[in-house]
């Protein structure tokens, strides 16, 4: 199954993909996946999760934002995985990171982290499951 089948649903126009709570993405577009491991200070997990719910609304308004997930680690309850889908790398690096919304995001969330997370961006899957 392709990335589009996993993350979105095909509309009547097969060149358009709809992501939940997101904008339309052309099927031939490149999607960027931002990945961050968030180590939250022990004992702050409930406060972090409540703060993240507020901060999540800020990122959703960013140009090029396609969706995000926050997952709690099973083996370490103070560790979270953040996945954010962007239409283009610049939507994350220049658009959101350069915005007033990002400064609010940082004020709401950054004090919870120890150590501060490393954020990396990844291209679309290499397509090995499409090989016959």
Nearest to 85 by CA among 38, 19, 37: 19
CATH number (domain holding residue 71): 3.30.70.100
Residue 108 is predicted with a pLDDT of: 98
Model confidence over 79-120: pLDDT tens digits? Answer: 999 999 999 999 999 999 999 999 999 999 999 999 999 999
Confirm whether 129 is domain-assigned.
no
**This model's pTM is above 0.95:** no
Element (H, E) at 47: helix 45-60
Confirm whether 131 is domain-assigned.
no
Structural domain span for residue 91:
3-123
The tally of domains found in the chain comes to 1
Confirm whether 103 is domain-assigned.
yes
Distance CA 1, CA 117 (A): 31
Confirm whether 36 is domain-assigned.
yes
Confirm whether 40 is domain-assigned.
yes
């Amino acid at each position: 199954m392709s990335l589009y089948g996993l993350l979105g649903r095909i509309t009547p126009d097969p060149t358009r993909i709809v992501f939940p709570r997101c904008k339309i993405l052309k099927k031939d577009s490149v999607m960027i996946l931002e990945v961050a491991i968030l180590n939250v200070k022990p004992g702050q997990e409930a406060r972090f999760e409540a703060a993240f719910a507020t901060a999540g609304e800020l990122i959703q308004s960013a140009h090029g934002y396609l969706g995000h997930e926050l997952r709690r680690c099973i083996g370490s309850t103070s560790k979270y995985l953040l996945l954010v889908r962007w239409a283009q790398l610049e939507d994350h690096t220049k658009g959101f990171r350069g915005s007033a919304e990002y400064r609010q995001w940082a004020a709401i969330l950054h004090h919870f982290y120890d150590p501060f997370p490393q954020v990396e961006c990844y291209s679309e899957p290499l397509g090995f499951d499409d090989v016959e």
